[in-house]
Each structure stands twice: as structure tokens, then as C-alpha cells.
Structure 1
Amino acid sequence: MSDVTARVADSTGNWVDTHAPVWARPYLRLARADRSIGSWLLLMPCWWSAALAAGVARDVRPLPLLVLLFFIGAFVMRGAGCTWNDITDRDLDDKVERTRSRPIPAGQVTVKQALVFMVLQALIGLAVLLQFNRFAILTGIASLAIVAIYPFMKRITWWPQVVLGLAFSYGGLMGFAVTFGRIDLTAVVLYAGSIAWVIGYDTIYAHQDAEDDALIGVKSTARLFGERTHRALVVLYGLAVLLIGVALALAGAGWPAWTGLAAFALHLAWQIRRLDIKDGALCLRIFWSNREAGLLLFAGLVVDAVLRAM
């Protein structure tokens, strides 16, 4: 199979296709380096938690290093998680138009090669994790159980996005674990708010595959909500904003953090208003825009932490 035909449908025209060595492209696609949005979305709760914890501690000196370490960790662990997902989903991916050109079903990478690549990525993630305190290390390791079971959830529940939320929001706990060596109520509420956000945006993403998923029997909140998706998003995104707001209140956050949350909320409202679940390309664009939503909140939290540390 040629390299062009092996491109995944929603990832063409990126640096992997145009600049990466040909031999490396299948592995980079396994890690979703051609679609970095998932890494950014995994990173956002990490950065939120780190910035909010810095504000509570009134000390931003460790924040730049945490931002960098979380960045590296999120990108490599998302790559490892996606590689695991492709290993477990290789038979299903072959039946879905958007995913049948992924490296394993396309025959570019063997399962054994993918396993070795996954382990290498996980080892880099472990090296990042070992920079933290003992409590944070154990907290981070505990997340692997959620990552391991996620690919199987769409076979048994209509709510696989909940498990994805548990995994992708885990960084909401890590900032407090690293900064304070504990997880308090503020971190737990932030985590819960992020979970609601993840369920919402991944429902939008899953609408791209809803028809194929129905044919092969894969479950998702996109199929569960169907035409009620807009109403479901109002509830999910509204809950996300409410819970994150409670976390800010518990943390004693100031006006910059609340401004960031307001901008985040307005962006989510725009997504709901703009969404057409029958337009797969639009669903993808709106899904991608959640990086900007997350960065708006992060910016507010950083400014707040800096002002509180002065």
C-alpha cells in the first residue's frame, strides 16, 4: 500500500505526510503525531491543575518546569494510549471508512512492532513521571488502569466517553499531586468538571463515525444521544463550567481565573450553536477548537496565579 493511501482520512496535509522520513510515518501515525489535538486535549487539565495549584500555593516558580514536563508527558502518553487503542481495535478499524487506513489494518506495522513502540513511549512517560514526588508518581501510575480498559468500553457500554473522560481528565488531579503531594477537594471537582467537558467534545467527535459504528455494533454517546445531542451538550458543557467554577471558588481564585472560565464557557456555547451533527467535517473542526477553549481557561488561571504570587 502506498504512503498516500495509508493516510488516515482526517489527517492529511500535515508534517508527518510531508516532512517525516517514510519509514517513520507509520509509527508517527500510531502515536497520532499527525493529529496532535488529542495530546493537547490531554494536556489541558494538566495545565489547568498546575496553574490552579500554583495560585493556591501563591508560588509560580515551579510552574514553567511543570508546564514543560506535562507537555512532554501528555504527548508521549497520548501516543502510547493511541498505539494501545489501535492494537485492540485493529479488527474494528478495518471496518470503518475513517480508520481502515491506520497503520495496523493497512499492514504497515505488525502488532509486535506496535507493542514495542508503545513500550518505548511509555518509558519516556515514566521518565517524566519520575521527576515528581512519590505521591504524584503513584497517582500517575494508577491512571494506566483506566487507559488499559478504555478501548474495550465501546463494545459493552453506550457511555465509553465517560471512561475516556476519566483518562483524559486525569491531569486535573496531577497538578495538585505534584505541588502539594496530595489530592484535595478542589482537584477532585476540577477533575469532575473536565470529565463532563471530555464527554461533550468526544460526543461531537464520535458523530463522524456514527453510521459506521451502527453497522459494526460499536456504541457511543453520539449514537445514544442522536438528534438530542445539542440538548445533551447543554447539560454536559453546562456541568463542566459549573464544576470548574466550584473548583475556582474552593481555590479562592481571583478575577483573571473567572474571566478565563467565562471565555471558556462562551466558546462552548459557540460550539453548541454551530454544531451540525450531520456534517462530519464540521464536527471535526468544532472538536479541534476545544484546544483553544482549554487555552483560554489556562491563560486566565496563569494570570491569576501570577497575581496571587506577587
Structure 2
Amino acid sequence: MSSAAPVAPTRLQLYLNLIRWDRPAGTWLLLWPTLAALWIAADGWPGWHLLLVFSLGTLLMRSAGCCINDVADREFDKHVKRTAQRPVTSGAVSVKEALLLGAGLALAAFGLVLTTNAPTILLSFAALAVACLYPYAKRVLSMPQAVLGVAFSFGIPMAFAASLGGTEWSLAAIGAAVPKSAWALLLGNLFWVLAYDTEYAMVDRDDDIKIGIKTSALTLGRWDVAAVMGFYAIYLLSWAFLGLRLGLGRVFLLGIAAAAAQVLWHYQLIKGRSREGCFRAFRENHWLGLAVFAGTVADLALR
């Protein structure tokens, strides 16, 4: 007796797979530092409008980024077991479809940004440009994760601009709305992205060597685990220092401590460099970001 033939996925299912609907970790990794910055900039509750704009905007832009990334990497992804069956790579979704979906999602996110203010709108163009550049960075840069770090951290200055900005359309207006501390938070968060995306790159190390793309895991070589721990340390120490400078206190530091405890667990996961351990460390990173965000919110609420 023959088994029933597998049912082909619908277009909706393919599109949801394309934007990683079933893998929300990437959205959380973007969202937690953005919301932490939003609470810091607003000195507490930022209001429903900005919360919805940045939450939905993060989801939409992460989804659009997946479309762009899969189109750019479709030839590489064919040679990596983990990515070979992605909708664009397998041919189930055409390049044109993926680009149209990505453009639609980005336009929807831009519509949300239009409800904020001039400095935030201006910054959104820079954010989009960095997001589009990242998939191609791995072709030329030894540490393309640094570009991803900027892309995944750009919500921080945008959160400050949305909270503190005015109506003037100029670079000076951005400078007035986004203090140096916000850019410093972006820089610190970049090191967190370097940490977790190096863990991610460690999963595909063997495949990446064969197909000739550049990643931080390959560049760092045998120093990869030490570097990941160093990146985590820079992120947490910089955010602890900046948080104290910005008026946060002991409860915020408890969040930092909870994140640091998770870093020790991540070391246990990645020290053997197994695919399973490295991938689990990457997937669980959103809990680390949540700890910092929760400490930020709680500290401001308990003043």
C-alpha cells in the first residue's frame, strides 16, 4: 500500500517560510535593543504609538531583510545543507516574487515611520541602505558581521530620534535628537551582534570554506570562541557603563548580570564548536537581549 503523496505548500506558506515566520529569533534580536533604547530615550513608558511603530516596523523590516538576503545568497545557499531548501534557493519562489514581497514589507514599515518625525524618517533611509548592503558584504569583507551589527542596531538611534526629535529636515536635527550616548549604545550593541552571528557562522564553517564566502568564524579561526566571549564582554560592559551614565541603576545592572550568566552558558554550548551547540547558542540569544531590556524597563518603572 503506497503512502499518500506529500501536499505541496501553498503560496502563503512559501512566503511565510521566506520571511522566517516560524523562526522569530531574528525579530527578537532586533527588537530588544530597539525597545530598550526607546524606554531610555523616553525616560520610561514611550506610549502606545511608538511602541507599535517600532515593534511592527522591526517585524516588517526583518522580514524584508530575509527576502533580500535569500535573493542575494541563492547561489551560495544551494551548497549549504541548512539553507538548500529555502523557497528562493529551491526555486519554489521566484526572484521577482521575493523582491516584490520584500519591497512591499519595506514600504509598509516606511508607512509606519512616516507617522513619527523628520529625523526618524531621514534615519530610516540610512537603515534601509545598510540592510540592503549586508548580503553583499560577505563577498568582500573579512568580518561582514560588522555590517550586520550596524543594520541590527540602527533601531537604537531611530528610537531616540522618534522620542526626542522635532520637525526640521536636516542633519543638524538628527544631531540634536540623537545624543552621542545613543550612537555609543549602537556601537556596544554591534558587539553583541558580532557575538551571536559569529556563533551562527560557526554552524556553517565547513560549507562556507567550500563555497568561498567570508565570515567572522573563518577570519577568527581558532580564536573564534575567545572572540565571541570578548564580544559579549564588550557589549555588556559598554551597556552597563552607558546605562549608569544615563541614570539607570541597580535593577538595570541585575538585567546585565542575568545576561552575563547566559553568556557563561553560551560558552559551554560553543566551546566544542559542534554545529548543534553553536546553533542553539545563536537561537537562544534573544533571552540575553530580553534580560537587558527587562532590567531597563524595571529600573525606569521603579524610580
| Alpha-carbon contact 1:51-1:63 (below 8 Å) kept | no
Choose the corresponding residue for 2:268, options 273, 276, 284. 273
Query: Are 1:246 and 2:254 an aligned pair?
Result: no
Choose the corresponding residue for 1:225, options 211, 220, 225. 220
Q: TM-score, normalised by structure 2?
A: 0.90
**Secondary structure, aligned partner of 2:89:** coil
| Alpha-carbon contact 1:256-1:301 (below 8 Å) kept | yes
Query: Are 1:52 and 2:47 an aligned pair?
Result: no
Choose the corresponding residue for 1:148, options 132, 148, 157. 132
| 1:22 maps to amino acid | T
Q: Distance in 1 between matches of 2:147 and 2:84?
A: 24
* Moved segments of 4+, more than 3 Å: 3-6
Change (3 A) 1:37 1:119: same
| Alpha-carbon contact 2:80-2:204 (below 8 Å) kept | yes
**Secondary structure, aligned partner of 1:125:** helix
**Secondary structure, aligned partner of 2:90:** coil
Query: Are 1:260 and 2:255 an aligned pair?
Result: yes
| 2:217 maps to amino acid | A
Instruction: Measure how far apart 1:227 and its partner are.
Output: 2.4
Instruction: Measure how far apart 1:169 and its partner are.
Output: 1.0
1:68 counterpart residue number: 52
1:160 counterpart residue number: 144
Query: Are 1:296 and 2:294 an aligned pair?
Result: no
Q: Distance in 1 between matches of 2:237 and 2:11?
A: 47
Q: Distance in 2 between matches of 1:265 and 1:279?
A: 22
Q: Distance in 2 between matches of 1:264 and 1:172?
A: 19
| 1:103 maps to amino acid | P
Deviations 1:170-209 (A, max 9, x none): 1121221111111112211111111000000000011111
Deviations 1:263-307 (A, max 9, x none): 112212321233245321221111111111111111111112223
Gaps of 5+ in 2: 166-176
1:188 counterpart residue number: 183
Q: Distance in 1 between matches of 2:6 and 2:258?
A: 39
| Alpha-carbon contact 1:42-1:169 (below 8 Å) kept | yes
More displaced stretch, 214-223 vs 90-99: 90-99
| Alpha-carbon contact 2:68-2:99 (below 8 Å) kept | yes
Deviations 1:228-282 (A, max 9, x none): 2221122111110121122202211122112111211221232123324532122
2:12 counterpart residue number: 24
Choose the corresponding residue for 2:77, options 88, 93, 111. 93
Q: Distance in 2 between matches of 1:200 and 1:47?
A: 20
Length, aligned pairs only: 288
| Alpha-carbon contact 2:269-2:280 (below 8 Å) kept | no
* Larger RCO, structure (CA 8 Å, separation 6 or more): 1
Q: Distance in 1 between matches of 2:159 and 2:29?
A: 15
Deviations 1:28-58 (A, max 9, x none): 1211112111111111221110111122xxx
Instruction: Measure how far apart 1:64 and its partner are.
Output: 4.0
| Alpha-carbon contact 1:187-1:247 (below 8 Å) kept | no
1:199 counterpart residue number: 194
Same amino acid, percent of matched pairs: 38
| Alpha-carbon contact 2:75-2:89 (below 8 Å) kept | yes
Change (3 A) 1:96 1:307: same
Instruction: Measure how far apart 1:4 and its partner are.
Output: 7.1
1:40 counterpart residue number: 28
Instruction: Measure how far apart 1:5 and its partner are.
Output: 11
More displaced stretch, 261-270 vs 236-245: 261-270
**Secondary structure, aligned partner of 2:21:** coil
Cα root mean square deviation, aligned: 1.8
Q: Distance in 2 between matches of 1:5 and 1:281?
A: 29
Q: Distance in 1 between matches of 2:155 and 2:100?
A: 25
2:209 counterpart residue number: 214
| Alpha-carbon contact 1:204-1:277 (below 8 Å) kept | no
**Secondary structure, aligned partner of 2:86:** coil
Instruction: Measure how far apart 1:22 and its partner are.
Output: 2.3
